[in-house]
Structure 1
Amino acid sequence: MATREERRLSTNLFLVYVAFVSSYFVEDVHGANECVQKPFPGQSFVCVCNSTYCDDIEPNTRVELPNFALYRSTKAKDRFSKNIMKFTKTVPQAKSIWVVKKNVTYQKIKGFGGAFTDAATINIMSLSKLTQDKLIAAYFSPKEGIEYTIGRVPMAGCDFSTREYTYADTPQDFQMNKFALTEEDLKYKIPVIKRALSMSSRNVSLFGSPWSAPAWMKTDDSLTGKGTLIGQAGDKYHKAWALYFAKFLEEYKKQGLEFWGLTAQNEPADGMISKFSFNCMGWTAESQRDWIAADLGPTLEERGHGDVSLMMLDDNRIWLPAWADTVLQNATAAKYVKGMGVHWYLNSLVPTLTLSSTHERHPDYFILATEACSGSFPWDKHVVLGSWNRGEDYTHDIIQNLKNWVVGWVDWNLALNGTGGPNWANNFVDAPIIVDSSKDEFYKQPMYYHLGHFSKFIPEGSVRIEAKPESSSPGNLDVVAFLTPEKSVVTVIFNRYRLYESDFTQSFHHDCCLVACIMLT
């Protein structure tokens, strides 16, 4: 192979290359099943999967220097297209040169994943058993999938349920004697989660998030609308709500599932909005802080759940760093909290650097992106099959989060139907996989592949390393790099702005560490 390999890439390039600086092995070696494309006018295409066939990813076989493996996805045709390439011996002349340094390190990565909502698991279970297996494998299998390592689990109902419910709807049950998992857990969520974990070769970390306390515990006597817990921290309502969290962990453990983490409340700001349309409960930073310190933290610790990673906020980053400042100024609350969750919905209002400033103020507490989805605003078309733009939105957000100390990125529903549901509140959205149970098939959206370029190649324990353009080079690419636990260097390169797209040439140079040279001619 020539020392400089030129490739004409299609427009709207999304490029990932994986440079193996040590030998890397996989258990099974086989070529990839190609995508069965279903194109959509004005968009890209989806990949169609059914009970007998689904595209997958050509595995990382042993690659030694001076070679490396490149995986590429493009709007026009490619989905994880793999090429073996060679480093050049000299740094070429280029219009954009990025330097990757292994010895300059940042945060350790927790992982990437999605949510086992009622809606997602109902959709998965609506397929035949063989097609269900294909879909679950697409997310979790090392041979067929993108190897998610995080799963979010709603604690009882949310808007992506078919009804309103909690686990303790019997009034005045402060001791949670009637607390019980529901059909949604036992028939849908738990079986799907177990199958996902059994398919994965990686550790999959689960975390739970509540949308609302039972109506009888709230000021508005409703699971929706403007309402908070009755009373104040330390009283019987707040202690009962803390017990609810412990009971959730204990009931799931009886089913064979243990949790890595919990968030204190999904989007606490929602419950401060009059007539909010789906499950919610309001908290201020002060009330959340006081409840964690007086009730939730001690209850979890007393009942043997002190090792569970408790996250505050779980809401949009507009509340940072003030929310973290308020909670962590209390030494008792700070003792129980391990990190904070952030959502992406109002990102346009607040710069990404807010995440870095929060990290700088509270470096001992991790930041995890806990929810994102496309098509969520009232003016959006909820499901857009084949949308490359929505995949680009995912990649851009993930890279910007990772470059600002976020340790992982968790998508919303794993799978939805063609209308973006079911959702009892009609709050329909898009998802990386869309299910058509009438045909016993599912469609892998561009979002799925964009996410997979991170989740597949950046396992838990990877460390972000420096990747920046030389001072004389235009910074018109999104680039982020990592050192994996196997000491491989992984670099994600995203040409969202399509500059010089008509003639894109790439060349990579390796020396004592790694220099990635992106030539745009």
Structure 2
Amino acid sequence: VCNATYCDTLDPLVLPAPGTYVKYESSKAGKRLERSQGSFQRNLVLTVDTTQRYQKVKGFGGSVTDAAAMNVFSLPETAQDHLLRSYFSEEGLEYNLIRLPMASCDFSLHAYTYDDVPFDYELTHFSLHDEDTKLKIPLLHRAVAMSKRPLSLYASPWTSPTWMKTSESFVGKGTLKGQAGDKYHKTWANYFVRFLDEYAKHNLTFWAVTAENEPSAGLINNYPFQCLGFTAEQQRDFIARDLGPALVNSSHRDVQLIILDDNRLHLPHWAKVVLEDEEAARYVHGIGIHWYLDFIGPIQDTVVPTHELFPDYFILATEASIGAHFWERDVILGCWERGNQYSHSILMNLNNFVAGWTDWNLALDLEGGPNWVKNYVDSPVIVDASEGIFYKQPMFYHMGHFRWVRAPPTRSQLPRLQILGCRSHLSRGEQGRFVGRGAFPGSDSLPGVASCSCLCSKFIPEGSQRVGLVASKESKKTDLEYTAFLRPDGAVVVVVLNR
């Protein structure tokens, strides 16, 4: 629990003596980054092979919705600072990705866009709302100021103005009126450019935009909150004839364009439709995926073949939250299994060519909102404004807990490093991060039974590259999940999860 006068922080990493480790342990029983030291045992073996190179990392982060910003600013100012530093500073997770809804989404107090004046094809009435100028923009400025790493912002629209839609409604089944190349599609494409223009006036520039948040949602009858439907073919044509040209012919030509931004079960079909079209493909840089229907869209059948077909386009996990399904409770304070779900998803994605992972709301209230359609979900940080406090949930520590970093090896020590595990440091249901260093070969070690994800955002910085990691027969008999990365500075990071 954090308040105006206290919040736990992460100490700077100092490599221990050869043959020893430093363990930072958190547990369901109440430990939070508790530090201890020890010596390695030679039981489980993971071997890092840096000659095997895979995808490079873009980063990790979360989303600044209206609701998230409202919750942060509902706290006393010093508590606000603690919360933001927990995410963005060297004392915290060092997030480098921030996703931003373009105008409203369900995690707003009401539905709105930036130009709700009918038939304003020139967008003369386009204007940011108070939710931008008084909430999201000030929050972003504070995050940028406390981050030592560059922050990559990317924006996603939920809906166009209703006068552009076939439904003439924010909700329910509806697409853009007309067809690609017409005045509705041109105006909607120019809306993206105006959004980027207005944020640039506040000294905020964007790394990327997605073509639409969950475009399949707008093809569903009675969909309950903001949406705009596109089939893959419609998105292809909109990008080729309208959005792509609008971006490259503007001052924002370096802003990258991400397609899909929807559940991965649409892959590889969606990518094939868009990227096999030369005109559309020339404007596209990456593919965004959500996790909500992962249980019916296995990664080996969706993401992997997409990467194999289109290896030059990055794949980024752009949204995840727990509590969205009808069978799930919205907020469960202290739920350790929800942290495990985050870690499992991150590792599964990283091991299958995904370049990063973005959480949904940075902070929500005790109900899991506010949300204008009561579509409440859980969050790594839960705010109790009445008490002036916020809770760092297990999901927070899973997003930023386990770390193992070894010093950069010399050229003679590459390409293979042996990582020896030691049993019995943590029981299932506990988690820790271990830092170890030893002489080569065979004394660089990490525990085999840690139960958390890496400090992914903190210790797998942008530009890190996934490398080979081979498990011994003994370690394959455990419940471990793992991955390894070579950082730009030459250090090796190994991530281990025991569910």
Tell me the TM-score normalized by structure 2: 0.87
**SS of the residue aligned with 2:386?**
helix
1:123 aligns with 71
**CA drift at 1:148:** 0.4
2:421 aligns with none
Preserved contact between residue 205 and residue 259 of structure 1 (Cα < 8 Å): yes
CA distance in 2, matches of 1:109, 1:81: 29
Q: How does 1:319-468 map to 2 (within 5 A)?
A: 319-353=266-300, 354-452=302-400, 453-468=455-470
2:81 aligns with 133
Q: How does 1:230-309 map to 2 (within 5 A)?
A: 230-309=177-256
Q: CA-to-partner distance for each residue in 1:322-368, whole Å, 9 max, x for gaps?
A: 10000001111111000010000000001121212110110000000
**CA drift at 1:150:** 0.2
**CA drift at 1:484:** 1.3
Q: CA-to-partner distance for each residue in 1:212-254, whole Å, 9 max, x for gaps?
A: 0000000000010000000000000000000000000010000
Moved more, 77-86 or 217-226: 77-86
Moved more, 51-60 or 472-481: 472-481
1:209 aligns with 156
Question: For residue 31 of structure 2, what is the amino acid of its counterpart?
Answer: D
CA distance in 1, matches of 2:34, 2:493: 16
1:59 paired with 2:7, answer no
CA distance in 2, matches of 1:65, 1:84: 12
2:110 to 145, 153, 163: 163
CA distance in 1, matches of 2:36, 2:269: 46
**CA drift at 1:483:** 1.3
CA distance in 1, matches of 2:252, 2:46: 45
**SS of the residue aligned with 2:459?**
coil
1:223 paired with 2:170, answer yes
**CA drift at 1:411:** 0.2
**SS of the residue aligned with 2:285?**
strand
Q: How does 1:127-206 map to 2 (within 5 A)?
A: 127-143=75-91, 145-206=92-153
**CA drift at 1:319:** 0.1
CA distance in 2, matches of 1:72, 1:364: 39
Preserved contact between residue 469 and residue 475 of structure 1 (Cα < 8 Å): no
1:316 paired with 2:263, answer yes
**SS of the residue aligned with 2:470?**
strand
Question: For residue 262 of structure 1, what is the amino acid of its counterpart?
Answer: V
**CA drift at 1:481:** 1.0
1:493 aligns with 496
CA distance in 1, matches of 2:287, 2:23: 34
CA distance in 1, matches of 2:372, 2:188: 24
Question: For residue 117 of structure 2, what is the amino acid of its counterpart?
Answer: T
> Mind listing any 5+ residue stretches in structure 2 that lack a counterpart?
401-454
CA distance in 2, matches of 1:449, 1:100: 25
Runs of 4+ off more than 6 Å: none
**SS of the residue aligned with 1:438?**
coil
Question: Number of matched residues?
Answer: 443
Question: For residue 50 of structure 1, what is the amino acid of its counterpart?
Answer: N
Question: For residue 456 of structure 1, what is the amino acid of its counterpart?
Answer: K
Over the aligned positions, Cα root-mean-square deviation in angstroms equals: 1.4
CA distance in 1, matches of 2:97, 2:39: 34
CA distance in 2, matches of 1:366, 1:323: 14
**CA drift at 1:85:** 5.1
1:50 aligns with 3
**CA drift at 1:100:** 1.8
**CA drift at 1:102:** 2.2
CA distance in 1, matches of 2:229, 2:457: 33
CA distance in 2, matches of 1:153, 1:239: 22
CA distance in 1, matches of 2:284, 2:16: 42
**CA drift at 1:123:** 0.6
Identity %: 52
- Distance change >3 Å, CA 462–CA 154, structure 1 → 2: same
Question: For residue 415 of structure 1, what is the amino acid of its counterpart?
Answer: A
Question: For residue 317 of structure 1, what is the amino acid of its counterpart?
Answer: R
CA distance in 1, matches of 2:347, 2:259: 23
Preserved contact between residue 468 and residue 479 of structure 1 (Cα < 8 Å): no
Preserved contact between residue 315 and residue 343 of structure 1 (Cα < 8 Å): yes
> Mind listing any 5+ residue stretches in structure 1 that lack a counterpart?
1-47, 497-521
**CA drift at 1:175:** 1.1
1:517 aligns with none
Question: For residue 307 of structure 2, what is the amino acid of its counterpart?
Answer: H
Question: For residue 486 of structure 1, what is the amino acid of its counterpart?
Answer: D
**SS of the residue aligned with 2:82?**
helix
Question: For residue 225 of structure 1, what is the amino acid of its counterpart?
Answer: G
CA distance in 1, matches of 2:394, 2:377: 15
**CA drift at 1:157:** 0.4
**CA drift at 1:104:** 1.6
Q: CA-to-partner distance for each residue in 1:385-412, whole Å, 9 max, x for gaps?
A: 0000100000000000000000000000
Tell me the TM-score normalized by structure 1: 0.83
**SS of the residue aligned with 1:310?**
strand
1:77 aligns with 30
